[in-house]
Structure 1
């Protein structure tokens, strides 16, 4: 290969600058010799032959949606929001009377707990439709879902036209008496209000929510409330129990239909305990078996006899382990207060291999903030879902 070399001469010099107050002259004195030599090589450039390349086009719908969401991000102050949607337990549940409209009046201590779903909201360019997705099957994704009902309700009340992409990461089983669907609706109302610059007060959101569900208003409390009426009359109270008390939730795969439970309910066979007295006892002495009364247990056990047997076995095996064992809401979750662990037979018996198990704690929220997701909540198995919307 041809090449040429360029040689440089050696120049001995040193540059220095000494400024004297007596003279404006500059002197340069050599100290060391420097040799500069540059070697330049010229090489032939290889010829590259053009070849035909195969181009593969891939359509990625998720990427397209993300790009659309990014476009919305640039135009709106808030375009995405991820919120925790916790469920609840009824520490006690008294049914006090039957109303003329066919509903029953109740008196209950509701308390939010640390088991919950995660809901991601993204502002949609659409002004006509919401799109809901979820990680499980069996959850309605259309207007029957309480999330969509809540968003429609907010738009109706405020005149706003925001629509959303929503992803529901479901952890709370349905048909469990834990109010998971009601919590989702309350969370959606809170989210819609944030996207609209908080046009409504929390009190207004709470009042509006009773139009689509009796348990929804409770979640606008700060975590603990004494609820009466159909459940929509919410008296926000300081938590009467320490947040650190552990509990375990155990739900068989079978769900209890609330309608069926109330159909079998007999008012004359309920407890006669005064609900305010129960609340006072819990505030003074904590949770014990004698205050955890649920008037819906007998009819629920008629609907699902295996649930009665499960509760009896848990209570017997958990003596000394649990402060109280009770059913939440209309079932079918059995709650053990005082330990995060289920009895050993839940793991050992084949009959209970499909039981949903989760540890939990009582949870509250700060004023003007939504519920914060705890660091971790352990579930032994994914929840099973029925077709009914909770």
Structure 2
């Protein structure tokens, strides 16, 4: 794997930097973190800006509406936009990083044509309807049922921790279509319109005061069979494609953000005289090495996906496992440097520290990632 820019990549990086320098000063102020309708509008506006400039869906296949660029070029895009302080995907998170890539990989031509262009153009928002009250880490234990009724599935059940449900147009939904099958073999992946009759959304307020998650209740919701991605009862395999994207490259921009925060912490430590504290300086140095290694691991993962022509594999679990813990360690260090200010919820770092506590659970708990690494990379037998 070559970690240096080719001449073409260096030119792309320079052009992107110049475009960001021209564009970012003209953006409106970012809405408050708890105003998700306003944040949806802001995030969609930014996505339209990227689309109009030719930067939307860089690494998506051309027949999915993208530009067919290499994953390496996509990482350059993430690195430069984060360094410049550009908006991240926000409410577009599920559509751009989970559902969209899954539909691009597994959907029919008709499904690609219907759902992918609106995501790239900043017209529609997706949410993720995977977890349930009794099916979180053990996702295959989900109980939301879907029975076939002609050209529709009739869905009943509930979902929990549904990201951006209150502002979403579509939901990537996992349902059980064969209750008698082994739990991994009776699941189907559906695209559900959030305005369908029988869908009720109840926002959940987090410890940080935000409500980007919700409970979703489904009461005899009719979803067209044409909205099924993959075959009936083959949804677990499709789900693994979704999760590989979620664990493989979805956090790449956040690694760059953590490296930027680490530099800010070092400046804060110098400003208040804490830089002479040898243990603290050693701690920040080790974290710098951690995040540099995580960035290289991300590059390796996408290079492997590029070489094999597939989605990110089990290496994504290695990344997710270490990143979630490194992020918590970073914000513990921030609390040490900021002192009482780290408890001020009006400060972005305080909110980020609270949200960092969820990263060992979100996108698959650390225990699940350890099992994946043990079984699929180390070849160890499954636990009993």
Structure having the higher strand fraction is: 1
Q: Scaled by the length of structure 2, what TM-score is found?
A: 0.26
Compare CA radii of gyration and give the structure with the larger one: 1
Q: Scaled by the length of structure 1, what TM-score is found?
A: 0.25
Greater RCO, 1 or 2 (C-alpha within 8 Å, sep 6+): 1
Structure having the higher helix fraction is: 2
